[in-house]
Amino acid sequence: MRVLLDSSAYSAFMRDHIGVGETLSQAGTIYLSPIVLGELRAGFLKGSKRQRNEEQLEAFCETPRVRVAPIDGETSKRYAVILESLRKAGTPIGTNHLWIASSAMQHGLTVVTTDPDFRKVSEILTRCYDP
């Protein structure tokens, strides 16, 4: 199984969330989006444990099973498809979530998250856990 870890799931994993931890232990490859990395780092800037959080993220990213999923022109095509589908359904989600879902769609990845917004995206597979 290849997964794309959302920032909410990364945070849950760092707090020892059992479901997220089990999914990650079973995953062959764990992808992060540059969008997720930006969300995490923006959160670190607001917190009191910035250095520790950065070090933990760097260590996680250096794990052999972790990769960064590229965002490119192909991703933008999926973004447009998902955005239009959600618009027609009347179920909008945030822009960052659109990019994350688009990347998952492009690369055939299952989004691991604690955010139910991703369930609205019929074009992707999700593993959504309670926070």
Q: If DSSP codes are grouped into helix, strand and coil, which group holds residue 111?
A: strand
Tens of pLDDT, residue by residue over 72-125, are 999 999 999 999 999 999 999 999 999 999 999 999 999 999 999 999 999 999
Report the distance separating Cα 98 and Cα 121, nearest Å: 9
Q: Where are the domains of the chain?
A: 2-128
Neighbours of 96 (CB within 10 A): 16
Q: Are 7 and 40 in contact (CB under 8 A)?
A: yes
Mean confidence (pLDDT) of the chain: 97
Q: What is the pLDDT of residue 6?
A: 98
pTM of the model: 0.95
pLDDT in tens, 4-63: 999 999 999 999 999 999 999 999 999 999 999 999 999 999 999 999 999 999 999 999
Per-residue confidence (pLDDT) for residue 53, from 0 to 100: 98
Tell me the CATH class for 2-128: alpha beta
